[in-house]
Chains A and B, each alone.
Chain A
Amino acid sequence: MTAYDAVVPPGGRGKIQATVGTHGLFGGVRKGITVSTNDPERPSLALSVSFVVANPLVATPPSVSFFVAQNESAAPVELVVRRADGAPLELSDLSIDDSAIAVAPAPAGPDRSEARIVVSLKTTATARRIQAKLQAKTNHPQRPLLAVDVFGAVRPLLWASPQSVALPRPPGGAETRANVTVQNTAGRPFRLLEARLEGEMAGCSASVLSTAAASLQVVQLTCSGPPPDAPRNGRLVMTTDVPAYLRLETSVSTVPARP
């Protein structure tokens, strides 16, 4: 919206006022204004207004993330929420839409415009992706609801990749190979005690490349000899020395390859 002095006599001064709204904006903003005049040298001029739109409620950090191995504990995150106008901040009805995550108010500091929330991931969280939203009611008239994203993943402690393997079987019976890696997502060393193929896996074998403890182990699958006349399905079964993961499985198939 603009307002201006329409007629300014010789030697006089005037103003053009531009009122800018900031609803729904965030960060650096630049707005232009085009002015038409009866000055023959400047019949049109371009004006600009720049500003930085700040959130009325600032959460630090702006989002919370947890990336953790299953059954591992993750450090709680303290979220500091602050009113940009410096007025006292009150939060109520704190909640989160994921039962594996706990949220609780933390003691407020001397600055009453700040509120603190502790966000923690329960160690009982199952292996999965985390995508949750923390919410709280606030006393800010323009931002009555605070929403903060909480994301991340609880990974299985041992993770085999890929989860399925397709091995081509060329007509001449040439050897084909593929690798399956098993990672300890907590970075701790472990051993693969055995790797074997079960199912319709004739002509194929599995072997653990290293018997030493490491956070990453590799199983090599090898197939050779006459190919099957049709795709065959089986599975790679691995045994480990990690108590909760004594047995891991990955699906394996063999596919006759075209000459």
Chain B
Amino acid sequence: MSSAALLLAALALAGAPSDGAAAPPPPRPVLVLASPNVDLGRVVEGESAVAVFSFENAGNADLRILSAQPG
């Protein structure tokens, strides 16, 4: 075994958790929604209105919105 391979093996062992130590949690997104309900008030019939829902990603991984559908 070469000295480089020995060095890599030693580094791997040093980085491995020792028996009984908790593994760090995997990164995950955390969606924090400002409000789930929006009241647009009065809208004249025939016109369109836009509701905006704001949110924040309080996690440590990318937050993905997979779909947003009426219903």
The chain A residues found within 8 Å of chain B, CB to CB, are 2, 4-26, 31-42, 45-56, 84-85, 142-143
Contacts and interface: CB of A to CB of B under 8 A. Distances in A.
A10 B50 contact: no
A36 B64 CA distance: 9
11 contacts: A9-B57, A11-B58, A12-B63, A33-B70, A34-B70, A36-B66, A37-B29, A37-B65, A37-B66, A47-B68, A51-B49
Given A10-B57, A34-B68, 12 more contacts: A8-B63, A15-B52, A22-B44, A26-B45, A33-B53, A37-B64, A37-B66, A38-B62, A40-B28, A45-B36, A56-B46, A142-B47
A25 B57 contact: no
Tell me the dominant secondary structure on chain B's binding face: strand
Interface residues of B, number: 41
A12 B46 contact: no
Contact of A13 (B39, B48, B55, B68): B55
B17 to A, nearest CB: 23
B71 interface: yes
B1 interface: no
B25 to A, nearest CB: 11
A46 B33 CA distance: 11
A223 to B, nearest CB: 61
B3 interface: no
B39 A32 contact: no
B63 to A, nearest CB: 4
B61 interface: yes
A22 B65 contact: no
Contacts of B4: none
B53 A20 contact: no
B51 A49 contact: yes
Contacts of B71: 32-34
Contacts of A52: 41-43
Contact of B65 (A24, A36, A84): A36
Given A9-B62, A15-B53, A41-B30, A55 B67 contact: no
